[in-house]
Structure 1
């Protein structure tokens, strides 16, 4: 018999957090890893190729993450924790209260983001989410790599990753609320009874099936 779970699902960047945590972490790390500055021209070049639709987003993201490639994972964890210690005020004011209310109402709290796990995990844990579904990057020999595991967790892929998780855990998932800043998450909104669009930290009901 399947386990029944009632959930709320949150995007992270510009939904929970006022910014793009991957880009912000890149800016944070550059002065602490000066040699990474030599990657910037190549990153800009790849960004242009992505904007011209010559390379896919997943390939661009993997290339962009060369700035963390080879860092020992324990050292990277230190950088990430320091980054979030400086960026806690970047969490929108409404988020903690909403999470606390939904937790009190018995909802299972899922963060579903395109950003990398190694950046998201400490803050997602601090906010009290029950589950993080995101873009995964491999490690090797105790060091971080820029090798993406599987697919980029964006758009319809967010829903596929949720479905993979529910199938693997034999879960019957009912999504009450979904939150995102972008209409690329319409596939995610379609899972939920209520979907909310976040713009500049303000919540607007986008769709309700009730």
Structure 2
């Protein structure tokens, strides 16, 4: 079984950021949230106050201005082509995607790609409110173990060393930078 992060790993970009920009182009009212988003950004990233989940909940408030089902369908009709060739060439039936991105956003793409196993942040697609915590770092390991128990991970792929907890439980791990794969450097 192979496990993959999604954004910047098998998807060329950040799907949440791409969806935000896509939505902003369609729904100009989202601009009304710019001041509060800027404040939330400064609070978390500049002053290190609060959690990433709290920041993301503020950001996801833009969803209230979306026609969510239609927008997600239209978004993936344009962006599914951003799945990286390396993944398409090695995809297996039992692949697992574990991502911090919202489950409601990734589920349609995974379905279209034939990926059966998706673990992602559970976010209400209408309000942006989280159920649980952001699927990141150690939380990814917890979520994997919850479903697959002690089933081994043959290979793990991610663009970020923040995923080292998952890399440590895989037989082999690879860091993905653009279209280049390298063995995981556990000294980082």
Q: What's the TM-score bracket when you normalise by the shorter of the two chains?
A: over 0.9
Structure 1 unaligned runs (5+)?
1-6
Alpha-carbon distance in structure 2 between the residues aligned to 1:23 and 1:173: 33
Alpha-carbon distance in structure 2 between the residues aligned to 1:173 and 1:152: 23
Partner of 2:24: 30
Residue pair 1:70, 1:145 contacting (<8 A) in 2 also: no
Structure 2 unaligned runs (5+)?
none
Residue pair 1:80, 1:119 contacting (<8 A) in 2 also: yes
Deviations 1:112-148 (A, max 9, x none): 0000011111111122212100000136xxxx12110
Partner of 2:86: 94
Displacement of 1:19 in angstroms is: 0.8
Alpha-carbon distance in structure 2 between the residues aligned to 1:37 and 1:138: 21
Alignment partner of 1:18 is 2:12:
yes
Alignment partner of 1:160 is 2:146:
no
Alpha-carbon distance in structure 2 between the residues aligned to 1:60 and 1:69: 16
Q: Of 27, 39, 45, which aligns to 1:45?
A: 39
Identify which range, 24-33 or 171-180, moves more after superposition.
171-180
Q: Of 111, 114, 124, which aligns to 1:125?
A: 111
Structure with a larger share of its residues in strand: 1
Aligned 1:62-81 pairs, distance under 5 A: 62-69=57-64, 71=66, 75-81=67-73
Displacement of 1:42 in angstroms is: 1.2
Query: Structure 2-normalised TM-score?
Result: 0.92
Number of aligned residues: 185
Query: Structure 1-normalised TM-score?
Result: 0.83
Which stretches of structure 1, 4 residues or longer, exceed 2 Å deviation after superposition? none
Partner of 1:195: 173
